[in-house]
A and B are shown apart, each in its own frame.
Chain A
Amino acid sequence: MSVPGSVLVVGASAAGLGTVESLRRKGYSGRLTVLGAEIHPPYDRPPLSKQVLSGAWQPERTPLRPQEALAVLDAEFLLGDAAVALDAGARSVRTASGRVLGADAVVVATGLRPRTLPGQEELRGVRVLRTLDDAVALRGAVAQASRIVVVGDGVLGAEIAATARQSGPAVTLVGPQPAPMSGQLGPGPAVLLAELHAEHGVRLVSGTAVAGLASHQGRVTGVRLPGGATLPADLVVVAIGSVPATDWLAGSGLEVADGVVCDAYCRAAPGIFAVGDVARWYHRTLGTSLRLENRTNAIEQPAAVASVLLGEDRPYTPVPYFWTDQFGAKLQVYGTPAPDDEVTVVEGSERDRRFVAVSSRAGRATAVLGWNMPKQARLHRQALIDDGAHRPVSGR
């Protein structure tokens, strides 16, 4: 494929910005357009559940780049206008305001939408956290709340519970796993995380799905459990995962199956690519199709696609990585631990809550977890590449 004369990026968050920055950094001089559904210039999402929710950062601190840095990219940012349809053959995108944008190549970076519980939209006192506006609204709601229930025990739910608890109200974290983030950390470290939450006064209701929301006169009053009990709440935060934002691709001709289905080069169709949370691509080293919802993927995948657009033969084969900060503990995870992996502490000690643990299966490293040892964890990351056995994560 020859280098496209113009590239349209649909989505103006980290992965969208990463696409245009990578292209310019690699010397691309064609026309660049970035379409974003939100009115905000590209902003940083990981702080939303931490610094923004706690109030430590004002929203003005969240943009990923100062205005001058965006200006020198020489890309046209069309913000506050969502894509509503793609014609993959013509490589043209129609927007909510009626624009029709065409380009030689289109990069889909529309991210995720939060999953919701049945009926939650009609109730006051129930919130999700995905966007900056969500975070600011949630911060206000937390300040007014006396009893918060967070539904969902993944990374986002655990972070929201930790941050909200530090603001004062009673917090309950409910979810289906044996301990918060069991799937992301492995069972052993997840128990340590549960202890950390319990020490700080978070009530954990683990191994429990939820049956629904309880309400009175249009306002939530709690979360119903399958056995009939209700966890009372005046604020419920729903963090039960997300779905790829692909509604607008209906009828486009692209294959969508829990994400935009792509080949090893993140190509969905001739001249159409997908990057970030929304992209399901074929990871050649792992030999499987994969979708990653993490911050580093939203940078590394656009860089790989930029190379492909400029003619390089570069399949995308990252080592999955995420971090989380809760109650002052800094956790870093490379690869993906499985429940039955053998776990060996290679530095520090769990008792001191400062350690690096390597997970392995059949003698090959599958994941590296750092607990308050970010640098040391990174130094062990190489073991995953040497062993070539980092296991994929699915949906999350």
Chain B
Amino acid sequence: MKITVDEERCCGAGQCVLIAPEVFDQREEDGIVVLLDAAPAEEQHGAVRESAGVCPAAAIQVSEAP
């Protein structure tokens, strides 16, 4: 799994941090997403897919290619 984030789309809602705090964080100054781990371990994959699904700005892309 490989994750990319689009900072320009991100609205700073922080839904991803609520769901997958080991993979996502937010910048202190403007709340924009910070990707902590672009290729997380398998136990994180479910939470990452959910984060991408619920992101209200569609700012998280997940590539499932190994």
Contact = CB atoms under 8 A, between A and B. Distances in A.
Interface residues of A, number: 26
Interface string A34-52: 0000000000101000000
Contacts of A64: 58
Nearest to B15: A296
Contacts of B30: 330, 372, 374
A325 B9 CA distance: 12
Contacts of A325: 11
Interface residues of B, number: 19
Interface stretch (A17-25, A138-146, A154-162, A277-285): A17-25
B57 interface: yes
B27 A46 contact: no
Given A44-B58, A65-B58, A325-B11, A378 B50 contact: no
A323 B11 contact: yes
Interface in B27-41: 27-28, 30-31
A330 B56 contact: no
Interface centre among B14, B17, B50, B58 (most CB of A within 10 A): B58
A300 B53 CA distance: 10
B28 A375 contact: yes
B50 to A, nearest CB: 7
Nearest to B46: A25
Interface string A300-333: 1001000000000000000001010100001010
Interface string B2-38: 0000000001111101100000001110110000000
Nearest to B56: A295
Given A374-B30, A374-B31, A321 B50 contact: no
Contacts of A377: 31
B11 A46 contact: yes
A373 interface: yes
Contact of A321 (B13, B17, B53, B57): B13
Interface string B30-66: 1100000000000000000110011011100000000
Nearest to A62: B58
A299 interface: yes
Contacts, number: 60
A299 B53 contact: yes
Given A25-B49, A330-B31, A374 B13 contact: yes
Interface string A244-277: 0000000000000000000000000000000000
Contacts of B53: 18, 21-22, 25, 299, 303
A21 B52 CA distance: 11
A296 B13 contact: yes
A148 to B, nearest CB: 25
Contacts of A46: 11, 56-57
A375 B27 contact: yes
A373 B31 contact: yes
Contacts of A375: 12, 14, 26-28, 31
A121 B47 CA distance: 47
A22 B54 CA distance: 9
A25 B13 contact: no
Given A46-B11, A330-B12, A332-B12, A378 B18 contact: yes
Contacts of A370: 31
A25 B50 contact: yes
Interface of A: 18, 21-22, 25, 44, 46, 64-65, 295-296, 299-300, 303, 321, 323, 325, 330, 332, 370, 372-378
Given A21-B53, A25-B49, A378-B13, 18 more contacts: A18-B53, A22-B53, A25-B53, A296-B13, A296-B54, A296-B56, A299-B56, A330-B12, A332-B12, A332-B13, A374-B26, A374-B31, A375-B12, A375-B14, A375-B26, A378-B17, A378-B18, A378-B31
Interface of B: 11-15, 17-18, 26-28, 30-31, 49-50, 53-54, 56-58
Closest 4 CB pairs of A and B: A374-B31, A374-B12, A378-B14, A375-B26
8 contacts: A25-B53, A44-B57, A44-B58, A46-B56, A64-B58, A299-B54, A330-B11, A375-B28
